[in-house]
Structure 1
Amino acid sequence: MRRFDLLHGRQAVEDFTEWRLAEVAGHLYPRADQEACATAARMMGWYFLPFDDQLDGEAGRDPRRVARICDALIGIVHGASGPERHPAPTVRAFADLWERMVRGMSATLRARMTHHWASYFSSQLTESIDRAEGRECTDLEEYFQLRAATTCAFGQNDLAEHWGGSEVAPVVWHDPVLRRMRQLAADLVGLRNDSMSLAHEDVVGGHNAIHLIERAHGCSRGEALALACEIAQDKADALVELERRKLPRLVRALDADQRAAVTGYADILHDRVLGDYEWERTTTRHRAHRTLPDWATSLLVGAED
């Protein structure tokens, strides 16, 4: 973070520490070795203030600017450019980070992860257009599809496969059972995060499942949170039921190595849901509305040139 000028001053360091980003890396990737876990911590540091928080501000309400920024980042994941071509600290840092993230990754998994991270950056443009036009989601399931992309949920899962030693073969990874399982896990994390980040998003706006439920049902905040809990419980039950009833049928069709990979994939999804839950309990990131420090407003300057 300091090497790429992504932290300035004591307060920034204290905030970074209190957000518990190194700890969430450990929660999400408990099977990673020391080097991979350090890379995961760097990634979580990059993900928030240097990138995500930038797009909560004025930059995120300018779709053309967001398109140019995210085009530069997509160029990095596709290998079209490296850090030397970008003056923006956030973009240069990601170029360095990407090389660490894909180090030692199989060609098949790297292709899948490239797709998911490109989708993540592309979804930032979708959100920016929605912000600029004041569009609000009205369908919760449609929102969850977007939410999985805007959090890079599936790209994070790819890294857990890489760092956990249980890569799922393409012939299995695309199975409808696994597809539904990873969407349910992403939905659970999205609901948890949206409920915890209300102090900030009540001020800045943007898509949030709790806001959507309030509008759809014409209900109070407390009632919306209670409904969100019911939705989350239904999704957790559905995930457990898929693992109990349908996953064994898939596993029986596989050889021993792929059986272990598929059951390991279920563990990856558990780690993501439970890891996020534990992090949300301890981080200070969502306890109040966040304002972007003056020094941080330049972290993406030049990325759109």
Structure 2
Amino acid sequence: MTYEGVVFTTPWPLRSNPHLEQARERAIDWMRAFGLLQGESAVDDFVAWRLAEVAGFFYPHADADDAATAAQMMGWYFLPFDDQLDGELGRDPRRVAAVCGALIDTVHGLPGGEHHPAPTVRAFADLWPRMTHGMSAALRTRVSYHWSAYFSSQLTEAIDRTDGRVHADLDAYFPLRAATTCAFGQNDLGEHWGGTEVAPAVWHDPVLHRMRRLGADLVALRNDSMSLRHEDVTGGHNAIHLIERTRDCPRREAMAYGSRLAQRKVDELVELEATDLRRLADALEPGQRDAVLGYAEIIHDWICGDYEWEGISARHHEHRVLPDWANDLLVGAES
């Protein structure tokens, strides 16, 4: 049995941020200050998981301060939060609702997160204002909605874990997966840190809607296929598991089907950009035309950056078990 993952090719370049080394060091220092990394082995894992690199791939145009904030966000996103919900906590919907409620309060500007008993919540209360500093009112509203949806989706997954709910097909699964990866919230940050904010009248256009959906689906297929060593043990929603079940096929065939599906999505995105996106851009004034074309590049960076990161990160090499020191990172978050 192999876990080489879903494979596909794209015509877009992989780009990285020039401030990577500094961002990594600042992220490590920040996480240590909040107790999110304890001991040298934890720092080694942060480096081996290439969390600064994935931030650099997603946000190649961010300046030095924003690149550091992005690396801190990626560090926070995984072990201090996401991995906590793979364990006992993630099978207790009431506790998850309290955890995510505290984080959503911070997203909406309510005070208290900085004094919360859980280190993960306190760290996010420090992180969020820097993530959103300088955003326009429209973008701030949008990113708050998408990050709230991300946190809310963790409750949906917790309920599904407890009652064994599965999805009927990939079309039913992908919208939830877009939320659980915070795909659109990450895209929003690409606008903020890339200088290509799309006006609200344009952002809601069906062409851009379809483009970001395709990007989220591609990241879901690649990530789910690469995380099987872990999720074969923990269970939960996974696109490859779903393909195996609904097509009644072995792992190798499920991977091949996932790869074909992913390539079709890439091809659709390329065609969409060559036709409908160009038509949309041509109808806009020059500033918004540039923003729309820049938005396509944000989605490319998301797809290509994730694809590369999944291949170089040590995060998926084996089933992950929380180290003892990490078990308390969300303790008190449900209080």
TM normalised by structure 1 equals: 0.99
1:163 CA displacement: 0.3
The answer to whether the aligner puts 1:187 opposite 2:213 as a matched pair is no
Task: Select 2:123's aligned residue among 85, 93, 98.
Answer: 93
| 1: CA distance, partners of 2:111 / 2:242 | 39
The answer to whether the aligner puts 1:175 opposite 2:205 as a matched pair is yes
| 1: CA distance, partners of 2:50 / 2:112 | 29
Letter paired with 1:119:
A
Q: Which residue of 2 aligns with 1:276?
A: 306
The answer to whether the aligner puts 1:44 opposite 2:74 as a matched pair is yes
Letter paired with 1:237:
D
> Structure 1, unaligned stretches of length 5 or more?
none
| 1: CA distance, partners of 2:140 / 2:114 | 22
SS in 2 for 1:290: coil
Write out aligned runs for 1:210-249 (5 A): 210-249=240-279
1:245 CA displacement: 1.1
Which shifted more, 92-101 or 8-17? Answer: 8-17
Checking the alignment, whether the CA contact within 8 Å between 2:114 and 2:121 is kept in structure 1 is no
The answer to whether the aligner puts 1:103 opposite 2:133 as a matched pair is yes
Q: Deviations over 1:46-99 (max 9, x none)?
A: 000000000000000000000000000000000112433411000000010101
Checking the alignment, whether the CA contact within 8 Å between 2:114 and 2:123 is kept in structure 1 is no
Letter paired with 2:301:
D
The answer to whether the aligner puts 1:291 opposite 2:321 as a matched pair is yes
| 2: CA distance, partners of 1:84 / 1:20 | 28
Q: Which residue of 2 aligns with 1:8?
A: 38
What percent identity do the matched residue pairs reach?
A: 69
Q: Which residue of 1 aligns with 2:164?
A: 134
1:254 CA displacement: 0.7
| 2: CA distance, partners of 1:136 / 1:203 | 16
Letter paired with 1:207:
H
Q: Which residue of 2 aligns with 1:260?
A: 290
Q: Deviations over 1:78-132 (max 9, x none)?
A: 0112433411000000010101100111111000000000000000000000001
Q: Which residue of 2 aligns with 1:117?
A: 147
Q: Which residue of 2 aligns with 1:56?
A: 86
RMSD: 0.7
1:135 CA displacement: 1.1
Task: Select 1:165's aligned residue among 188, 191, 195.
Answer: 195
| 1: CA distance, partners of 2:46 / 2:59 | 19
Task: Select 1:19's aligned residue among 42, 49, 53.
Answer: 49
Letter paired with 2:243:
I
Q: Which residue of 1 aligns with 2:8?
A: none
Write out aligned runs for 1:56-75 (5 A): 56-75=86-105
| 1: CA distance, partners of 2:237 / 2:159 | 12
| 1: CA distance, partners of 2:207 / 2:198 | 13
Q: Which residue of 2 aligns with 1:208?
A: 238
| 2: CA distance, partners of 1:184 / 1:127 | 22
> Structure 2, unaligned stretches of length 5 or more?
1-30
TM normalised by structure 2 equals: 0.90
Letter paired with 2:175:
Q
Q: Which residue of 2 aligns with 1:148?
A: 178
Checking the alignment, whether the CA contact within 8 Å between 2:229 and 2:317 is kept in structure 1 is yes
Q: Deviations over 1:196-255 (max 9, x none)?
A: 000000000000000000000100000000000011011111111110110111111110
| 2: CA distance, partners of 1:179 / 1:129 | 28
| 2: CA distance, partners of 1:302 / 1:39 | 25
Letter paired with 1:56:
D
| 2: CA distance, partners of 1:296 / 1:44 | 16
| 1: CA distance, partners of 2:206 / 2:80 | 35
